[in-house]
Each structure stands twice: as C-alpha cells, then as structure tokens.
Structure 1
Amino acid sequence: MPKVFLSPSTQEWNKYATDGNEELYMNLLADRIEPYLRSCGISFVRNDPVRNVTGAIADSNAGVYDVHLALHSNAAPENLAGRLRGIDIYYAPKSSQSERLANIIANNLKSIYPLPDKVRAIPTYSLGEVLRTKAIAVLCELGYHDNYADEAWLKNNLEAIARNIVNSLCDYFGIPFISAGAVRWGTVTTDGSNLNIRDYPSLSGKIIGSMPDGANVMINGETDGWYVVNYNGIIGYSSSQFITL
C-alpha cells in the first residue's frame, strides 16, 4: 500500500493578509488531510515542525516513501504584493511521475478553486523539496496568502482542499477514494481459516498479509464490501463479510 511523507510548511514568518501565517494554515490543512489518508489506506509520516526544509528533505530521504507531498501557500513579489492569485503545483522536470501527479492535483483543484484557469502544474528548477527527495515529489502552492480573496478561499475551504488532494493521490495510486470516518475495531470471523489482506479491494488484489480467526483488527475505511484494515502494521483491504464489528 502507498506511503506518503506529508510536509506542511514550517515558514511561520510568512504572514497572511489579515491574520495567521503559512505554517499555521498549512498544518491545519495537513490535520484535515490525515483522516482521508487513513481511510483510503495510505500510510503517512509527517514532517517535524521544528525542523526546516533541509530537515524535511533529510527525514524524507531517510525513509521509503512513494510520494513526498509539500504544502505551501504563495506570496507575490513586493511590487505585485496582494495583486496575484492562483495555484501552482510544482514538479520535477525530469520525472514523468512527478509531472503526472502534479497534473492530477492541478486538474482536480480546478473543480474547487474559483479561478480554474489560474491553476497550473509547472516544473521547478530550484525547489529542493521537489528536486532533492528520493520519493516522487510535488510542492503545492495553494493560493496567494497576501491576496485577500485567496486567503479567504484557503481558510474557508481547508476541508474541501484536503479531500480534493487525497482524492488526487488515490487517482495517482490507482486506489479508490474513501471518505474519512471514525476508526472502528472488528473481529475476524471465519471458519477457523485466515482472512487475507490485499493491496486492492478485489479478489484479484495481491495478498500482502493475513489475519487469524478471532483477531482484533483496526478498520479505517469501507468500500463496496471491503474494509480498509490495519493489522499489526499491515494496511490493506479485507472482505467485510468476515469481520464482525
């Protein structure tokens, strides 16, 4: 199952047009992203907020992740302060997968951003979080925080943005999107045999683990007769027919 390094901004000095700052609101966004990741079976590690971008890159590279997702908001140059709007999703120009992910995110965000023609995926030749990470990486600049309209859109739509971004990750990974819900616990109920854990909610999904009859299992999501389960650190899909809540 996919694993993401979630890296919201640590730039508390980037003040918003009215109140708050970039670090605060990108971490509030990450807080809302986490339940959707969990429900969709995407495991994640979050950056350390006391470390800078160099630390985030080092921590990401110290692990094994499928995607490094950096969350930021933008600010215009001084001569254009407060006058620019739009969303930029940066990708590594030499990585077709980084570009593919950036385009998926940008295209999906167009459905919720009020100026869809100002949402774009663009290459970066300087951003370390995109160019220096081992994982496929994108950096999302989610509007201009020095623009009153963009600031208001961002603050008022954190939940919708979180849902939209995780939906994009699911599109990229080729797994179903599942709305966030409460974590539940269940008990494996079979005829004494093991219950398989698969990497996709289908009998054709690859078996990545199993649970014995009577095992207690964490349930993070549900889709079409399958539960997203976490059993002893193995995250995947198991048939809901054989799990009793």
Structure 2
Amino acid sequence: MTMQAPTDASAGSVGPDAGGGSYLRRAGALLGLGLVGVASLGATVALTGALPDVPGFSTLAVLLLTLVAPTAFLIVAVLLGTRAAPCVGLRSLVADRATDGTPVLPELGDIAPYAVGAGAAVGLLLASLDVVFAPLGATPAVEGRPTFLQVFASVPVRFLYGGITEELILRWGVLSAVAWVGWRATGGVRRPGPTVMWPAIGITALLFGLGHLPAVAGIGTLTPSVVARTVLLNALGGVVYGWFAWRYHLEAAMLAHAGTHVVFVTLSLLVVVLS
C-alpha cells in the first residue's frame, strides 16, 4: 500500500514527493537537525560520568552503543515522517526550506511567543500536578539535591534532545504514521480532520509518556503510582505539542516543548538556591 497525498484543494501543493531528490533533501535536513540532539545526549552522558562501566568495552564504545537506539529511532522516524506527513497535512519549516528555500525565521517568529508560552504553561501545570502526586508516593525518590552544575549540564540535552530530537521522533515520525493509518482507514481521500488527528495525537502522547519510563526507572522503582504519574504528566505535554504540530508545524511543537523545559530548568535552579 503506497502513501498518497490528499486530493482536496486544501492540501495545497505539498505532497509526499516520492521522487528521490526532494524527499532526500527534506529527510536529510531533518536528520541533521535531529542528530544535533543525539550529539548533545552523548556529550551530556559522557561529561557527567553517567556512562556505565562495562567490562571489556572502552568508554568510547559504551558511549557509541548508548547512542545506537536513539539514532536508529531518529532515522526511522525521519524517513517515515517525511513520507507520511504531507499526506496528512503536517509540515516542517526546515523541510520546506530544504526544498523550496522558504525562510524559516519569519513564520517561526510569528508563532514563537504562543508556542513557548503554551509550553511554559504546560510546565507550570505539570510541576503543580507533581506536587499533588508527591504525597501519593508517585514521585520517584531522588537522592540529594541537584547542584548548579547538574542543572546546567542538563540544559543541552533538555532543549536539543528533548525539544528537537524527541519531537522529530514522536510528532514527525509517530504522529504522522499513526495519522496516516487513520487517514487511510477513513478513505484516504481528503486531508484528515479532528476525528483522525485527535486520536493520533492522543496515541502519540501516550507513547511519549511511556517512553519516559526507562529514564525514571534509572533513578527509582517503577511502582504503579510512579508509572501512572510519569505517563500521565508526559502525555499531557504530548497532547499540547501534538496540537501545535498539527495546527502549525513541527517547529511550533519544538518551541512548545522547549517552553516546558524553560520552566523545569527555572524551577530546578530555584530548588538549588532555596535548598
């Protein structure tokens, strides 16, 4: 079954462009963007001493093995998303720039205050809910308080890997693919509307929440309450980021995700100062 572009006039001139050149330029641009985030993850893991000591393997080998999975997820997501996204009406300013030279900054600047603001509101909501969950034993216990160095060391991976690479994997790759399946299931003729996109956003947000469980497992025990808290809070953010990706573009989702981390970093610094 091949992916086809919507046939209604609202689909505009954007199509899957199955021919090699344009598709490869779009995918290459997005892959390069995502690899910046993967590199930030590797640098953070290496510089903070978080790499495990594996007998028989050098530090470099362990680092490279650590980055295999996120790199593979990124590649698959970019390839799938670049094919499926135009079919379901999702777009990327960076991908458009790679094919037709459309400037990124003017449109990005128009939505930036709203996306970052919405993301910051999500961050405040999630932080508030975390306080509510704490008495229920749903917040994983962390030994000690973070230091300034630890907070600042987390900044690159939060904004570059979380804000860029995760959005490429989840919103560009998974959301596009899930929406494409829904679109085909409902006829695959006109661009999918809310009845297809909202379930796709919800499914992707749930996967986004589940994807944070391994990191939480690394700092504490995955009790049922911890799992529920982790999945719910991250899924709430995923719904907002998915909406921005749908109604605007991938980069708007990235900005919203970044806005959430602005709040998280600020609150972490306040904890350091006040503790």
TM bin, normalised by shorter chain, reads: under 0.3
Higher relative contact order (CA 8 A, sep 6+): 2
TM-score in terms of structure 2 length: 0.25
Structure with the higher helix share, 1 or 2: 2
